[in-house]
């Protein structure tokens, strides 16, 4: 199990969902143990690591901030790179927000396909969960539990005839992410549009990059899946979990959660170093090995 980066640089461009700014985005290969690192090329290549310690305010999208340099709406791109199995990559952008493109992760998957994968001569490191960590808040909850693979279960419940209760449960790997989640798009309720605009959000939002739900239907159908909403929430969840900074070996259960709870879980998990360890062994590839092989104490904090 070796670390991966991309094989060649690729680029795209587009507008940000919330700020409406136009951003050029380029993905570049990175050396072993770099992780996923954003670089603001408009600010002397200022680097912001895709890591829980750089999470900024989080509301309708996940933003990172380091030394007051902000970077918005990271979740769809991170969901794609993380699920694709990319350990190391530079993401160069020349503005404040990642382009929303069609509102899903599919354009980023196509970009990664175009870039190709390169294996590096360094063992992949996993963050293996050893004990449960949970965050509960007014009927919403999220938890992460020990498991030998990266497994997510995501439940949503919106009082709308096209949504209602939807649940996605899967082992996350490049194939399952591509097939089940990558094409599911962002959505919003028509009744939320004016309040969100009044808050200075969704300035780049349009019928081309978000599903808009009316009182009892959808303004810009057809849907890509009957349960596209639940699938998109699972996509968002994975994009936020990428902020753990390493591939996860653990099972995550989210119930009516969102970016705030997702990122709180990441912070709480990273802060409790007794809840995980770093291992280079992938038990899914090595299931005949005794369990105590992974019982060494964590060697790297944060
Ligand atoms: Zn999203």
Residue of 18, 76, 151, 259 marked active site: 259
pLDDT in tens, the chain (302 residues): 999 999 999 999 999 999 999 999 999 999 999 999 999 999 999 999 999 999 997 778 999 999 999 999 999 999 999 999 999 999 999 999 999 999 999 999 999 999 999 999 999 999 999 999 999 999 999 999 999 999 999 999 999 999 999 999 999 999 999 999 999 999 999 999 999 999 999 999 999 999 999 999 999 999 999 999 999 999 999 999 999 999 999 999 999 999 999 999 999 999 999 999 999 987 666 544 443 333 333 333 33
Listing DSSP states for 198-249 in one string gives: HTT--TT--TTTSEEE-SSSBTT---SSTTHHHHHHHHHHHHHHGGGSS-EE
Cα distance between residue 64 and residue 72, in whole Å: 6
| pLDDT value of position 284 | 64
Q: Tell me the backbone φ, ψ of residue 52, rounded to 5 degrees.
A: -50, -30
**Cα(143) to centroid(ligand 1), Å:** 20
pLDDT of residue 285: 62
CA 28 to centroid of ligand 1, rounded, Å: 23
| 23 in Cβ contact with 108 (< 8 Å) | no
What's the gap in Å between 252 CA and the centre of ligand 1? 18
How many angstroms does the Cα of residue 150 sit away from the middle of ligand 1? 20
pTM to 2 decimal places: 0.92
| Ligand 1 ion: Cβ-proximal residues, 5 Å cutoff | 186, 236
Give distance in angstroms: CA of 214 to centre of ligand 1.
Answer: 19
259 is catalytic: yes
**Whole-number Cα distances in Å, 140 to 1, 168, 281, 282, 299:** 36, 16, 33, 31, 33
């Amino acid at each position: 199990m070796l670390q991966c980066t991309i094989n060649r640089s690729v680029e795209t461009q587009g507008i940000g969902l919330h700020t409406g700014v136009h951003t050029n985005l380029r993905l570049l290969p990175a050396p072993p143990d770099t992780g996923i690192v954003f670089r603001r090329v408009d600010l002397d290549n200022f680097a912001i690591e895709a890591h829980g310690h750089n999470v900024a305010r989080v509301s309708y999208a996940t933003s990172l901030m380091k030394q007051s340099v902000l970077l918005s709406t990271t979740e769809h791109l991170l969901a794609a790179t993380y699920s694709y199995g990319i350990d190391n990559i530079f993401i160069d952008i020349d503005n404040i927000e990642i382009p929303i493109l069609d509102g899903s992760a599919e354009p980023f998957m196509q970009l990664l396909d175009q870039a190709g994968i390169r294996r590096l001569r360094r063992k992949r490191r996993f963050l293996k969960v050893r004990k449960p960590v949970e965050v509960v808040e007014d009927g919403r909850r999220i938890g992460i539990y020990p498991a030998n693979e990266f497994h997510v279960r995501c439940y949503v419940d919106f009082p709308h005839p096209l949504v209602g209760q939807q649940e996605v449960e899967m082992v996350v790997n490049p194939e399952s992410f591509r097939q089940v989640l990558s094409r599911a798009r962002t959505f919003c309720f028509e009744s939320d549009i004016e309040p969100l605009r009044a808050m200075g959000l969704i300035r780049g939002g349009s019928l081309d990059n978000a599903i808009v739900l009316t009182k009892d239907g959808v303004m810009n159908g057809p849907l890509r899946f009957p349960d596209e909403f639940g699938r998109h929430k699972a996509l968002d969840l994975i994009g936020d979990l990428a902020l753990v900074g390493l591939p996860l070996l653990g099972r995550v259960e989210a119930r009516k959660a969102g970016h705030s709870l997702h990122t709180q879980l990441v912070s709480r998990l990273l802060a409790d170093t007794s809840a995980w360890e770093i291992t280079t062994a992938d038990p899914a590839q090595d299931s005949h090995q005794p369990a105590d092989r992974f019982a060494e104490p964590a060697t790297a904090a944060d």
